[in-house]
Amino acid sequence: MASRLGLASLFSRSASISASSSVRSLRGGGVAAVASGIQRFGTAAEVEVAPITPPVHVNYTKLLINGQFVDAATGKTFPTLDPRTGEVIAHVAEGDVEDVNRAVSAARKAFDEGPWPKMTGYNGEFSLIVLFRKDPAFLIAFADLIEKHNDEIAALETWDNGKPYEQSAQVEIPMLARLIRYYAGWADKIHGLIVPADGPHHVQVLHEPIGVAAEQTPLSALFVAKLLHEAGVPDGVLNVISGFGPTAGAALARHMDVDKLAFTGSTDTGKIVLELAAKSNLKSVTLELGGKSPMIILDDADIDQAVELAHFALFFNQIDEEQFNKILRYIQAGKDSGATLVSGGDRVGSKGYYIQPTIFSDVKDGMLIAKEEIFGPVQSILKFNDLDEVIRRANATRYGLAAGVFTSSLDNANTLTRALRVGTVWINCFDVFDAAIPFGGYKMSGQGREKGIDSLKNYLQIKAVVTSLKNPAWLASTAAAAGGLTAEISHVRGSYLVSLSIGTPPITFSASPSTVSDLIWTQCQPCTRCFTQSTPIYDPSKSSSFSKLPCSDNLCKASQKSNCTPDCEYNQTYAGGFSHGVMGIETFTSGEDSVPGIAFGCGNSNTFTVASGSGLVGLGRGPLSLISQLGVTKFSYCLPPLGQAKGKLLLGSQAVLKTKAAILSTPLVQNPSIKSSFYYLSLQGITVGTTRLSIPDGALQVKKDGTGGMIISSGTLFPRLEKTIFGLLKEEFRSQLKLPVADQSSLGFDACFSLPSKANVEAPKLIYHFDGGDMELPEDNYLFIDSTKGFMCLQILESEFDLSVFAGIHHQNMQTLYDLEKEMISFVPAQCDEL
């Protein structure tokens, strides 16, 4: 089994020794049972004597396709060599494109049509290499067989790979069995989620097998494949193709019926695999690639332990002839670049592919042996002065597989653990692996993880299933919303107020209904900073239905500048002040309709004053608004003029147009850049009298950056126009009225005119041109006339922002209907008290 680690270790200059390593790991093995030093893994003497004949026969050298061991379609084979001698162990079938096609076809049929995908997590459905599903009983039987044949598999692995038999038999093969048992435990625990969603919907999130998957495997995979079938895997579920990367490997990578690839090897080859996968069907790819992993030894470390583990991490595993020659070239490069060869540097014996354990000192960061993955027993020693330096140098590599840190300081260990950009950090240990520990790299050391639950995620894909529901019982507010909800609106001292009740027993809650806000809030006891209100301040301690909104609730996260200390706090800011307090859940009542479970702000520090009211009811698009929490798609209101009868707020099924007068309907516009709570109107022009204002192109529309446009606001009294548009409007009124300008800024108006004492003045009409029709505003909806004091003012102000506001005065005595399903808004003249 190939290993996947390597970089020069870094030692503090004040350490008692300086020894570092280009580190490689056991691929799936632990360290507890292996020998503790280089001598125990030594093989020099064994190479010089006659090699021991392994007590195992190579019986499986053919391809495994659709449950049968078969020859390659071309009849070709390739030799697998004994790394001790370079002699041929066996000739293995050399798979090519046609063999890959046959194997993938078998796997696809097993996945799409066979019994495998129909099995449950208790009696079927798992494959290690080609098809991922799940089955504890089958996997446990497979693990039992691996343990039964432990010595045979270990002998094959050692014979083919050249690693010590003790390592294979006592570490790697037992770890394989442990890994299988670990995933047997997961087989019946892979499940989806039921997630909450806005509105009446049932939402499932399913985790489903990704499909046909492929991996590279060593020679011993053929023997293990035989055990897999002995354990009962159906034909076609597992297929093993032995071959070479440019042929069989490339065919798998580009195959249109392969849904998932897992590759272990060099970074350069990983790039090719990724490119072929992208150019074919964008199949998912997991890569475990090269490494150059630092072993950082600080001056307070146990040096003897660090050196021992540095040797252990590096000086094992033999190689083939190609890698043998490559390592020797790296050793020569180290000599040529000026590094000091401390030990080794040559082959061992006259046969096979063994290289002496090699140590270089005086290594510099820019040297080839310090930068590139050698994948052999070549150790490089580098020194450093402090933590900042070692972090910078350790991270200055294209790799990020793993790192080791040796120190007696917990603070230093924590600093390095967080700072190193690698997938695994070992503290005062090295090469510790377990079935439950995810393994994989950052940067160019790969993508995805092996082992643990994270490995399962590589072979699953996510599906969301959304089902529409009618009147779901668990949506507490739906009962009221289905039948509709009605509340009175009054006009008091320049503010519109909606009358509700809050809590149990209910107390009056009079608040401004605002379509430009989401949050519902009221002043609460104990009040540290509150304004005067006409009704008693709500006290949550006296309500049996009050509870605090949990910090984990999505509505807490949606509140403006929320934080948990430890309660879910909110801090809502406005142009004229703020409201601060704790988010709660309460019952709201209107008439005979009660709506429990509404999230709201319980404000105990408030500087934003609502005239005669106690708070605000948000009617915006956001999740905290009353509209969103009720789950209704329609609402309407009628705003009464000052001093006149009350209007209405109608929610849900009650929100229908209740007059036969001419209806103007216009689309609501979405902000193209930001997710906004506002309702934008599609205003296209303005006419004063008979003159259409020459408004610059685009001045009325929402810009690409999210600024500008016109919003509608039910809680704001006076409309506002963007500065340029307001200037044009004011000048046109002045021009048509031909009256002297009057200063009534004390009343808050921006455009006023003096009236003659005797003559009657006919005011110009004001027409708004919307997408869908024209709205000729009643005179009271844009003019304020005080004939006794002799002035007339536009009830329209200049906006302080690059935003126009179609506010309350403009649509008083109109029923305004919002249809959020159709994204339309309608206006119709109405007597508010008659709705």
- 150-161 and 173-186 helices, crossing angle to 10°: 120
Place 16 in a pLDDT band, splitting at 50, 70 and 90.
very low
Query: Stretch 624-634: mean pLDDT, rounded?
Result: 92
CB 670 within 8 A of CB 687: no
Residue 188: is its pLDDT beyond 90? no
Judged by DSSP in three states, 336 sits in helix
pLDDT at 37: 29
Residue 288 annotated among the catalytic residues of the structure: yes
Cα separations (Å) of 268 from 240, 423, 440?
Answer: 24, 19, 17
Determine the Cα angle at 29 with ends 26 and 32, to 5°.
110
Place 477 in a pLDDT band, splitting at 50, 70 and 90.
very low
Segment holding 635, helix H or strand E: strand 634-638
Non-local (6+) Cβ contacts of 554 within 8 A are: 196, 623
Q: Which two tokens stand for residue 288?
A: 């475990």
CB 625 within 8 A of CB 633: no
pLDDT at 42: 37
Task: State the CB neighbour count (10 A cutoff) for residue 339.
Answer: 23
CB 601 within 8 A of CB 520: yes
Place 808 in a pLDDT band, splitting at 50, 70 and 90.
very high
Q: Compute the Cα dihedral for 174, 175, 178, 180 and give only its sign.
A: negative
Place 573 in a pLDDT band, splitting at 50, 70 and 90.
confident
Q: Which runs of consecutive H residues, i.e. helices, occur in 649-715?
A: none
State the amino acid at position 361 in one-letter form: S
- 136-148 and 173-186 helices, crossing angle to 10°: 170
Q: Where does residue 632 rank: exposed (0-12), middle (13-18), buried (19+ CB within 10 A)?
A: buried
| DSSP-derived secondary structure letter, 304 | H
Place 70 in a pLDDT band, splitting at 50, 70 and 90.
very high
Query: Which domains, and CATH codes, for the chain?
Result: 9-40+293-435 (3.40.309.10), 62-189+206-288 (3.40.605.10), 478-654 (2.40.70.10), 664-834 (2.40.70.10)
Non-local (6+) Cβ contacts of 74 within 8 A are: 94, 96, 98
Q: Where is average pLDDT lowest: 113-127, 660-674, 683-697?
A: 113-127
**Span 751-770, pLDDT tens digits:** 999 998 877 888 999 999 99
> Which residues on neighbouring strands pair with residue 68, listed in sequence order?
65
Residue 316: is its pLDDT beyond 70? no
Residue 475: is its pLDDT beyond 80? no
Closest CA to 519 of 635, 612, 626, 597: 626
CB 588 within 8 A of CB 500: yes
Q: Considering 157, 288, 372, 373, which one is annotated as catalytic?
A: 288
Residue 199: is its pLDDT beyond 70? no
pLDDT at 488: 93
Say what percent of the chain tops pLDDT 70.
87
**Span 235-272, pLDDT tens digits:** 888 889 988 889 998 999 999 999 889 888 889 999 99
**Span 579-614, pLDDT tens digits:** 999 999 999 999 888 889 999 999 999 988 877 789
Q: Where does residue 544 rank: exposed (0-12), middle (13-18), buried (19+ CB within 10 A)?
A: exposed
**Span 409-422, pLDDT tens digits:** 999 999 999 999 99
Segment holding 399, helix H or strand E: strand 399-400
pLDDT at 266: 87
Between CA 280 and CA 272 the distance in angstroms is 12
The whole-chain average pLDDT of the chain stands at: 84
CB 47 within 8 A of CB 348: yes
Choose between 560 and 631: higher pLDDT. 631
Residue 494: is its pLDDT beyond 90? no
pLDDT at 137: 72
- 220-230 and 150-161 helices, crossing angle to 10°: 160
Choose between 382 and 322: higher pLDDT. 382
Cα separations (Å) of 532 from 136, 572, 606, 648?
Answer: 68, 19, 10, 25
Residue 513: is its pLDDT beyond 70? yes
pLDDT at 403: 95
CB 38 within 8 A of CB 379: no
Most confident of 68-82, 634-648, 743-757: 68-82
Place 472 in a pLDDT band, splitting at 50, 70 and 90.
low
Cα separations (Å) of 476 from 15, 347, 509, 631?
Answer: 67, 78, 20, 10
Between CA 483 and CA 486 the distance in angstroms is 10
Query: Stretch 273-280: mean pLDDT, rounded?
Result: 93
Judged by DSSP in three states, 89 sits in strand
Query: Stretch 507-514: mean pLDDT, rounded?
Result: 92
Between CA 162 and CA 377 the distance in angstroms is 13
Place 14 in a pLDDT band, splitting at 50, 70 and 90.
very low
Residue 13: is its pLDDT beyond 70? no
Choose between 484 and 228: higher pLDDT. 228
pLDDT at 12: 41
pLDDT at 605: 92
Between CA 270 and CA 268 the distance in angstroms is 5
Choose between 537 and 644: higher pLDDT. 537
What pTM, to 2 d.p., does this model score?
0.55
Say what percent of the chain tops pLDDT 90.
51
Choose between 199 and 279: higher pLDDT. 279
Place 19 in a pLDDT band, splitting at 50, 70 and 90.
very low
